[in-house]
Amino acid sequence: MARRISGKNFITLAVVLMVIWLLPLLLSSLWVKVVTSAVIFSLAATGVSILFAQLGLINLSQVALIGVGGWVLLRLNYATGLPFTVSLLAGGIVAAIIGAVFALPAVRMRGLYLALVTLMAAGALQILFNAFQFPNGGEGFWGVAQQSAGDVRRPFLAQTDGAYLRYVMLVVAICFTIVGMHRFAAPGRAWAMIRQSEANAMAAGVNVTFYKTWAFALSGFLAGISGGLLAGALQQLDARTFVAGDSILLFALSIVGGAYHWLGAIIAGLLFKLLPALFNDFGISADLTLVIFGIALLHAIITAPKGISGQILAGISSLAARRRVSRD
Amino acid sequence: MIDVKNLTVRFGGVVALDDLSLNITDDVVGLIGPNGAGKTTLTNAFSGFVNVASGSVSVNGLNLIGMAPHKRSRWGLARSFQKVQIVSDLTVEDHLATVLDAKGANRSLRESAIARALDFVGISSARNIPGADLNPYQRRKTEIAKCLVGAPRVILLDEPGGGLSEHEMQDLRRIILGIHPEFGAQILLVDHDVELIRDVCTSTAVLDFGKLIAYGNTAEVLRDEVVKAAYLGR
């Protein structure tokens, strides 16, 4: 059993490395940018999915936390000479701390009430972003000046857009691995038990407050990292990107993609960023994607609780089972 | 030794436990009483799930009241629930591992603790089966096994016999009677099934309307006219 799983992991790793190497070679420069954004948003979607799939909690502040990570990266970029990856981690950590603060109401609330509280927090951050904007190389703490933005340093080996896409995919793959390690270790078991019943979890010795806070911090960390990656990709961030309403859309798409598998987060990222760009390319209004997302959400809620990724994985395993039967 | 002293629990105007005192020294002690007598409230006060108005619950001199619920569990208080709490996507082994995660058991001890508990209740073969695929008795046994890992000191079993067949009840008797000799924990057994109580509990306490109405040797308690009246109604 163990050997078969490690074999499967090996194949996954090989495929991931292949995609990381090949994808930038196959895409035109416009599509490299679009795919970079899509991959970055899959990382943020993973954070939403962890809270929903592992704990049954709804977090509607993710896009605001992406903004926090982006703000920290830009701030450090202009104020210090720190390497990109260090600033990126700092952005992740700050967003994790803010995410953990958002978890305080989660200790007592669930469902709709918690969702509303996180949405309010996202609204508050949206106002701050609008009021103070994102650093662009100006003076002072907020670092904003009436000038065109300065340069955001990229990692040494990822100066071009193509190489930066590879860097982004690598970071996202590492973060997915971290999430996977959580799911199949002590935090994953504790989360599952909390989801079933908090009393039961406490009776098993699980510190419910700690593990709920940890889940929010992890989710915030992933948002912060994706914000930093976004700042590196776009070279400048705009407050209009981080409206509270987009967090609802990201949550909905995480459900459509499937919250129970990393593939679902990738699908969510692609729907969020790639589909509107494709529609533009075809000459169709990108707003039409919202209609499609609405239909897809209904479809997911009614017939596919594990989302598109759940359907794909079920399809693959039933195909594999059929092949095994025909071989025997 | 479990020492419950002047324990009072109120829910609004309702007094669920009324100045209850109980000194438990035997290895397996039963707790019976009609519906609403306060049995589950007593186990919940023990676990820390309800606010205690006054009084104490001490084990070997250590007062548990005021300790956070998860800390009581790490100290060695284990319990099962009336409604079995099995997580559908965790395997039997994962359920036990969660308890050991919290207690910080090291790797080599974990493996032997899990194997020993599963073997003792007799579900070693179901070790890797997820909760969703377990039958009701396997679920019950998983919950009991969960109570046995990580050196428990006191185990509260809240109606472990609910909904079991006669054959399964026989097996459950064997399990409950074996726990103290094998794991050393003291057991407080809450159940409606007088037969089960009679077979496994050395002494038994009877609650009615939040008060202790009888306590002592199980056979004598069950013969008590007051107890019969409380059970049969007045």
Give me the tens of pLDDT residue by residue for chain A, a chain 328 residues long: 344 456 777 888 888 888 888 888 888 888 888 999 999 999 999 999 999 999 988 889 999 999 999 999 999 988 888 999 999 999 999 999 999 998 787 777 777 888 888 899 899 999 999 888 888 777 777 877 777 777 888 888 888 888 899 999 999 999 999 999 998 899 999 999 999 888 999 999 999 999 999 999 999 999 999 999 999 999 888 888 898 888 999 999 999 988 888 889 999 999 998 898 888 888 888 888 888 898 888 888 888 888 888 888 888 888 888 887 777 6
Q: How many CB pairs under 8 A join A and B?
A: 67
Chain B: closest CA distance from residue A195 (Å):
8
Tell me which chain B residue has its CA closest to the CA of residue A54: B89
pLDDT of residue A151: 82
Question: Which of B87, B90, B146 to mutate to test binding with chain A, by most A CBs within 10 Å of its CB?
Answer: B87
pLDDT of residue A5: 58
Neighbours of A112 (CB within 10 A): 9
The Cα-based distances of B77 to A77, B73, B104, B148 in angstroms read: 52, 5, 15, 10
Phi, psi of A256 (to 5 degrees): -60, -45
The residue that leads in pLDDT, B79 or A156, is B79
- A82 touches A237 (CB < 8 A): no
Residue B129: is its pLDDT beyond 80?
yes
* Alpha helical stretches, state H, chain B: 39-47, 69-75, 92-103, 107-121, 136-148, 166-183, 194-200, 218-223, 225-232
Reading the block at residue B69, the tokens are 């619920």
- The verdict on a CB contact (< 8 Å) between B90 and A204 is no
The Cα B204–Cα B222 span in angstroms is: 9
Average pLDDT value over all residues in chain B: 90
The Cα-based distances of B59 to A88, A166, B23, B54 in angstroms read: 51, 60, 10, 17
- The verdict on a CB contact (< 8 Å) between A202 and B70 is yes
Residues from chain A contacting residue B114 (CB–CB below 8 Å) = none
Q: Rounded to an integer, what is the distance from CA A325 to the centroid of its chain?
A: 38
Chain B: closest CA distance from residue A125 (Å):
34
Q: How many residues does chain A have?
A: 328
The Cα A278–Cα A263 span in angstroms is: 20
Residue B234: is its pLDDT beyond 50?
no
Reading the block at residue B196, the tokens are 């089960």
Q: Which residues of A touch B (CB under 8 A)?
A: 186, 189-190, 192-193, 195-197, 199-208
Give the one of B69, B74, B85 whose C-beta lies nearest to A196's C-beta. Answer: B85
pLDDT of residue B163: 84
pLDDT of residue A131: 87
Neighbours of A298 (CB within 10 A): 11
pTM of the complete model beyond 0.90 = no
Sign, CA torsion A304/A305/A310/A314:
negative
- The verdict on a CB contact (< 8 Å) between B70 and A186 is no
The pLDDT tens digits for B99-108 are 999 888 788 8
The Cα B62–Cα B125 span in angstroms is: 38
Exposed e or buried b per residue across B79-116, where buried means at least 16 C-beta atoms within 10 angstroms of its C-beta: bbbeebbbbeebbbbbbbbbbbbbbebeeeebeebbee
Domains of chain B from N-terminus onward = 1-75+155-160+190-234 (3.40.50.300)
Q: Which residues of B touch A (CB under 8 A)?
A: 47-49, 68-70, 73-74, 78-79, 81, 85-87, 89-90, 94-95, 97-99, 101-103, 146, 150
- The verdict on a CB contact (< 8 Å) between B101 and A196 is no
pLDDT-derived band at B232 (thresholds 50, 70, 90) equals low
Tell me which chain B residue has its CA closest to the CA of residue A192: B87
CATH code of the region A36-140+149-327: 1.10.3470
The Cα A17–Cα A298 span in angstroms is: 35
Average confidence (pLDDT) over B73-93: 91
The Cα-based distances of B185 to B71, B104, B141, B196 in angstroms read: 17, 19, 17, 19
- The verdict on a CB contact (< 8 Å) between A193 and B90 is yes
Residues from chain A contacting residue B87 (CB–CB below 8 Å) = 192-193, 195-196
Domain map (residue ranges) of chain A? 36-140+149-327
pLDDT-derived band at B233 (thresholds 50, 70, 90) equals low
* Alpha helical stretches, state H, chain A: 2-26, 29-49, 55, 62-79, 84-106, 111-132, 161-183, 186-196, 198-203, 208-234, 244-257, 262-269, 275-282, 288-303, 307-327
Alpha carbons within 13 A on the beta-carbon side of A174: 9
Torsion of CA A247, A253, A255, A258, to 10 degrees: -130
Chain A: closest CA distance from residue B99 (Å):
5
Residues from chain A contacting residue B150 (CB–CB below 8 Å) = 205
Closest CA to B17 of B54, B49, B47, B48: B54
pLDDT of residue A3: 44
- A26 touches A83 (CB < 8 A): no
- The verdict on a CB contact (< 8 Å) between B78 and A203 is yes
Neighbours of A156 (CB within 10 A): 11
pLDDT of residue B143: 93
